[in-house]
Amino acid sequence: MIILAIETSCDETACAIVSAKNGEIKILSNVVSSQIKLHAKWGGVVPNLAAREHLKNITPVIETSLKEAGFTSKDIDVIGVTSGPGLIPALLIGVNAAKTLAYVWQKPLLGIHHIEGHIYANFINEISAISNNQFPNSKQIKNTKTTNYKLQTTNQIKFPILCLVVSGGHTQLVLMKDHLQYKIIGQTLDDAAGEAFDKVARILNIGYPGGPKVSEHAAVHKPKTTNYKLTFPRPMLSKNNFDFSFSGLKTAVLYETKKHPSLLKNKSYVAAVCHEFQQASIDVLIAKTLKAAEKHRPKTIMLAGGVSANTELRKQLGIAITKFIPNTKYCIPAPNLTGDNAAMIAAATFFRFQKMSETQKKSTKENWKKITADANLKM
């Protein structure tokens, strides 16, 4: 089956074509046009500017995706599109483009939840799933031959899955007993993890988007030689549930830096703040995931969402699983599939379409009339 998918929920205009065959999902093209530079000067995504860019880019992005895969409309079996959650002006561009293609090409169309897409990035046959302590990062992926990452087929991933979703808008622990079945067993009570990284970067004035900047600065921190020994709180650790809270941690960073505004020019101070903030976030994410695993006994623990690009989180969660629950498989998305992309939406589209009865599949041909963008879509 060949799936074309579109994603425009935030600041990436994306179109991908994937094939799904014999339990393998392969990317044939994965085009992402990023608006990072445009939004950087505002320190965050401006919804109407995002929509304007999506509108400019959506047609070339779709055309490029088809061209790179060497396909025309005739080769496409089903279309998927992110229908929510996200910024409405942004979502509308992708949803309307997908509806137009579905009508003109007379193809089935499915609306996909953005977070479901992030989760299904793990089911794509990139260098992604691992069960040992090998942790690919974006530099290593360019030289995959010298490393021993494992390619997976989708049926190698065993349920139940406990998925730690960490993105700019969501932080959740999701329990999946089977494909497309989601039970949210814990979530953030305030800021999402990625949002906290972005806000801390803004406090420190180290650039946008914050997550990668904070982790870059944290990586140069030298704990043995630094003059700056900081301790930030690990919120919610003592609470007997699987919920998170990041806004207090962000405020702790704000108070710390307000005490020493002149130190913001000092690289080793900024590195120390980034390192301690990142470690506090990771400690809480890992502790809650292990606590949830103790109760729900998943066969697989999975990481998903933009913050899953964080090398330390990828590494430390893997080490913790190997140490405390060694029989649990650990699955992380390929580095090029951690951020927003349409290949993950295509993978989710495949699983949704495959599960439908023939009558349901037929009715999806009328979906170009029915699907709407929903900023607060529930999973």
Instruction: Based on the shown chain and the rule CB under 6 A, indicate whether residue 310 belongs to the binding site for ligand KG4.
Output: yes
Q: Pattern of binders to ligand KG4 over 137-166, x per CB under 6 A? A: ------------------------------
Which of the stretches 226-234, 302-310, 320-328, 351-359 binds ligand KG4 when contact is defined by CB under 6 A? Answer: 302-310
CB 306, min distance to ligand KG4, A:
2
- List residues bridging with 7 in a β-sheet: 14
**Are 45 and 12 within 8 A, CB to CB?**
no
- List residues bridging with 16 in a β-sheet: 5, 30
CB 34, min distance to Zn ion, A:
13
**Are 140 and 147 within 8 A, CB to CB?**
yes
Among 83, 125, 154, 167, binds ligand KG4 (CB under 6 A): 167
Which of the stretches 231-239, 249-257, 303-311, 365-373 binds ligand KG4 when contact is defined by CB under 6 A? Answer: 303-311
* Angstrom distance (rounded) from CA 206 to CA 197: 11
101, 116, 160, 252 from 346: Cα distances, Å: 15, 11, 22, 40
From the list 203, 300, 293, the residue with the least C-alpha distance to 256 is: 203
> To which residue do tokens 């494909």 refer?
179
Among 53, 126, 198, 256, binds ligand KG4 (CB under 6 A): 198
Among 57, 96, 215, 349, binds ligand KG4 (CB under 6 A): 215
- List residues bridging with 14 in a β-sheet: 7, 32
Which of the stretches 70-78, 91-99, 137-145, 335-343 binds Zn ion when contact is defined by CB under 5 A? Answer: 335-343
* Angstrom distance (rounded) from CA 180 to CA 355: 9
* Angstrom distance (rounded) from CA 39 to CA 44: 6
A 10 A CB-CB count for 140 gives 15
Instruction: Based on the shown chain and the rule CB under 6 A, indicate whether residue 111 belongs to the binding site for ligand KG4.
Output: no
Q: Pattern of binders to Zn ion over 162-181, x per CB under 5 A? A: -----x--------------
**Are 279 and 225 within 8 A, CB to CB?**
no
2 vs 252, beta carbon nearer ligand KG4 = 252
Instruction: Based on the shown chain and the rule CB under 5 A, indicate whether residue 340 belongs to the binding site for Zn ion.
Output: yes
- List residues bridging with 330 in a β-sheet: 130, 301
121 vs 320, beta carbon nearer Zn ion = 121
Interface residue list for Zn ion (CB under 5 A): 167, 340
Q: Which residues bind ligand KG4 (CB under 6 A)?
A: 10, 114, 118, 167-169, 194-195, 197-198, 209-212, 215, 305-307, 309-310, 339-340
